[in-house]
């Protein structure tokens, strides 16, 4: 070692040129240290990467391979089962709740009828406003439109109601000005016709008999009775009830009747008939 080092120094000394100051070159020593440091760092990095790779490999090896495969297969089977259930569910259940074309068409038709009935009722109310402010020209125009659009035999209830109201308004309010409807029938004639119909028809008599039976049961063991009739007309229902109350075993009760009607003349006539 001593000899080798001497030889290097001796060789360096021989390379010195005469008549020049010696220049010492330290590049060899300095440069030679840098690769050594890089080599140390690279070795440390290699060791760290090998350690990480080793630990990762152990972790992967420790995982249960069968469980992973089982979970994967289970997820695939679950996905296939859900798809199969959806395929079976669509035609069986969803198909039952799927509306048919017939139901849809009927619904659309009823919606159109309701919209048409609503528009007719709106026009009828506007006609009523026109009549209330004596705008008979506008009312005449609306009534003509209503009578053309509404029919008393239509499927829609609203349209039938509008048809009857339009006819009544034309007959009652603007008949004298327009002259398109016959004059109103006398009220006495109407009630006389109704009384004749009651005498020959069994439907009204049966309705009166049924209601009187219910009233008689409610009057059981009552000494004072007050009857209120909101549309008494001729009072054709009450003579039969008065006759039954008069024949009670415990004696007839004290009966008070209050009747309402559209004609005062008719109310007076009805009171006379029921007081006999």
Cβ burial, residue 159 (10 Å; 0-12/13-18/19+): buried
Asked if 146 contacts 180 with a C-beta cutoff of 8 angstroms, the reply is no
Tell me the pLDDT band of 238, cut-offs 50, 70 and 90.
very high
**93-149 tens-digit pLDDT:** 444 444 555 557 666 666 776 788 788 888 889 988 888 887 878 888 888 888 888
Q: Give every CB contact of residue 146 below 8 A, 6+ residues apart in sequence.
A: 120, 123, 124, 127, 162, 163, 166
Q: Give every CB contact of residue 256 below 8 A, 6+ residues apart in sequence.
A: 224, 225, 226, 227
Beta bridge partner(s), residue 226: 256
pTM of the model: 0.37
The pLDDT of residue 90 is 43
How many CA within 13 A on the CB side of residue 89? Answer: 6
Q: Give every CB contact of residue 211 below 8 A, 6+ residues apart in sequence.
A: 237
Report the pLDDT averaged over residues 243-251: 86
Q: Which residue has the higher pLDDT, 239 or 60?
A: 239
| pLDDT of residue 26 exceeding 80 | no
Q: How far is Cα 173 from Cα 203, in angstroms, rounded to an integer?
A: 33
CA nearest to 190, candidates 262, 107, 104, 91: 262
Residue ranges per domain, the chain? Answer: 101-178, 187-275
Report the pLDDT averaged over residues 202-226: 88
Report the pLDDT averaged over residues 14-34: 44
The pLDDT of residue 171 is 76
Q: How far is Cα 80 from Cα 164, in angstroms, rounded to an integer?
A: 65
Residue 153, token pair as written in the block: 């035999």
Q: How far is Cα 264 from Cα 206, in angstroms, rounded to an integer?
A: 28
> Tokens 């198909």 correspond to what residue?
95
**75-96 tens-digit pLDDT:** 445 445 544 444 444 444 444 4
> Tokens 């209120």 correspond to what residue?
228
Report the pLDDT averaged over residues 232-260: 88
The pLDDT of residue 45 is 56
CB atoms within 10 A of CB 38: 10
Tell me the pLDDT band of 166, cut-offs 50, 70 and 90.
confident
> Tokens 């029938």 correspond to what residue?
185
Report the pLDDT averaged over residues 167-196: 71
Flag the least confident range among 18-32, 141-155, 215-229, 239-253: 18-32
């Amino acid at each position: 070692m001593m000899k080798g080092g001497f030889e290097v120094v001796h060789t360096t000394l021989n390379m010195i040129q005469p008549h020049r100051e010696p220049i010492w070159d330290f590049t060899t020593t300095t440069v030679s240290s840098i690769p050594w440091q890089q080599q140390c760092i690279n070795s440390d990095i290699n060791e760290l990467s090998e350690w990480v790779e080793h630990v990762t490999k152990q972790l992967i090896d420790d995982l249960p391979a069968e469980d992973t495969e089982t979970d994967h297969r289970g997820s695939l089977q679950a996905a296939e089962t859900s798809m199969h259930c959806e395929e079976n569910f669509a035609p069986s259940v969803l198909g039952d709740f799927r509306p048919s074309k017939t139901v849809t068409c009927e619904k659309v038709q009823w919606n159109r009828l309701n919209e048409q009935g609503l528009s007719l009722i709106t026009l009828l109310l506007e006609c009523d406003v026109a009549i209330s402010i004596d705008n008979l020209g506008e009312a005449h125009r609306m009534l003509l439109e209503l009578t053309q659009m509404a029919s008393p035999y239509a499927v829609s209830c609203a349209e039938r109601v509008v048809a009857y109201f339009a006819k009544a308004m034309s007959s009652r309010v603007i008949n004298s000005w327009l002259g398109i409807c016959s004059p109103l029938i006398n009220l006495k004639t109407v009630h006389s016709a109704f009384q004749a119909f009651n005498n020959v028809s069994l439907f009204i008599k049966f309705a009166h008999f049924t209601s009187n039976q219910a009233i008689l049961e409610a009057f059981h063991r009552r000494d004072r009775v007050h009857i209120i009739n909101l549309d008494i007309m001729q009072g054709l229902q009450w003579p039969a009830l008065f006759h039954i109350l008069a024949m009670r075993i415990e004696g007839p009760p004290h009966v008070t009747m209050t009747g309402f009607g559209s004609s005062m003349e008719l109310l007076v006539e009805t009171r006379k008939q029921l007081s006999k």
